[in-house]
Amino acid sequence: MFQVEGSPAGTIYFDRGQITFARASWTPDLSARLLGVMRPSSESRELLTGGDRPDRDIGTILIQRNYLSRAELQQIVRSVVVDAVMALTTPSDEDAFISDVRFTAPVAHWAGHFSSLDFGAVQAEAVRRAGRMARYGLSRTTPVQLQDLTRPAAVLSRQQWAVACTIDGAWSAQDLAWQCGLALYEAIEDVGALVEAGLCVPCPAEAPALRVPEPQLEPASAILPAPVPAASAPLASVPLAPVPPVPAQPAPAVPLPRRTQRTRAVTAPPALIAEGGAAAAGLPASADFTPPPTELLRRVLDGLRRNS
């Protein structure tokens, strides 16, 4: 038994060098293929469940109950094998990859009682069908949709008409293969023929959604209030130089600042402006303003230190 892991993944069953069965993750399994051919009633659908299992011989039951002839079963099994081998050995998708390939102990598959295929013949048919599919340039995962007929008439086979009736604008050729019970290569060829006849077109790729830029948070320095000029900052926040102790003595009479107009604010003393590093303009040139002496300022600062 030959096992492939990746995308697609699958298994090929051998018996004395002949292929008895094969399955792949990209292609419809045997149960889906039998459902598409037989269209069984709801009571007989359970019979087809798990048809790929090597130990569940549904072929004998189908023939005994006259659901299928031996030749019809052999034809379906061969189509399933070719479809799986083509997907595993000649993948055309760019996203296909193989992570592991290994041979394991032989496992007998019930399909070997009805079909035994030469690997060279199966591989040759897979390559031939892959070439026919490639001329349509249609991906297995591309959704297709119907359109108004662009020609006066179109001639379709019964299978192509069934595929056209199933197209809904959201399903791809791979989806249609599972839904109609067809081989993947059959579905791609039928959809390609419908495109050539002007009955359907591949759905345009969806435009990428507009990406709304996320709001950019401004740095803290951009949203914090501007620093207060040193001239108007509280006195406690102004860096002060050490002041030597002043000996106790009677305070001289100091003339207080005079204002001739009550609506005019007193500008900060020159000493505070220099210590705060502010680049304020010079003092008013008016003779109405008399700055206090330095001694008075030092005593005020000493009082602030004691209260802090």
Start-to-end CA span in the chain (Å): 90
For the residues 134-140, what does the mean pLDDT come to?
A: 89
User: What's the rounded mean pLDDT across residues 180-194?
Assistant: 95
Q: Hey, what are 97's tokens?
A: 């990859």
Q: Tell me if the bond preceding 234 is cis, omega within 30° of 0.
A: no
The two structure tokens encoding residue 305: 């230190």
Average pLDDT of the residues in 191-214? 72
Compute the distance between CA of residue 225 and CA of residue 194 in angstroms, rounded to an integer.
69
* CA–CA dist 173, 163 (Å, integer): 9
Q: What does the mean pLDDT of the chain come to? A: 76
Q: Which helix (H) or strand (E) holds 11?
A: strand 10-15
The closest alpha carbon to 80, from 23, 15, 158, belongs to 23
d(CA 172, CA 180): 12
pLDDT surpassing 70 at residue 221: no
How much is the pLDDT for 63?
A: 93
Mean pLDDT of 22-39: 92
Q: What are phi and psi of 6, to 5 degrees?
A: 145, -145
- For 166, half-sphere exposure in the C-beta direction (CA atoms, 13 angstrom radius) is 23
> How do the domains of the chain map onto residue ranges?
1-134, 137-202, 268-277+290-308
All residues at 6 or more sequence positions from 178 whose CB lies less than 8 Å from its CB, including other chains: 28, 32
Find which of 165-174, 231-240, 253-262 is predicted with most confidence, using mean pLDDT: 165-174
Tell me the average pLDDT across 61-76. Answer: 93
At 160 the pLDDT is: 93
- What is the pLDDT at residue 240? 46
CB crowding 90-123: b at 16 or more within 10 Å, else e = bbeeeeeeeeeeeeeeeeebbbbebbebebeebb
Greater pLDDT, 247 or 117: 117
- Residue 300: predicted pLDDT: 57
Return the CATH number of the domain spanning residue range 137-202.
Answer: 1.10.10
Q: What would the pLDDT profile of 257-308 be if each residue is shown by its tens digit?
A: 444 444 444 444 443 333 444 344 444 444 444 555 566 556 656 665 655 5
Mean pLDDT of 23-47: 86
Whole-model pTM: value is 0.65
Report d(CA 209, CA 199) in Å as an integer: 29
- Looking at per-residue pLDDT, the higher value among 197 and 209 belongs to 197
pLDDT band at 201 (very low <50, low <70, confident <90, very high): very high
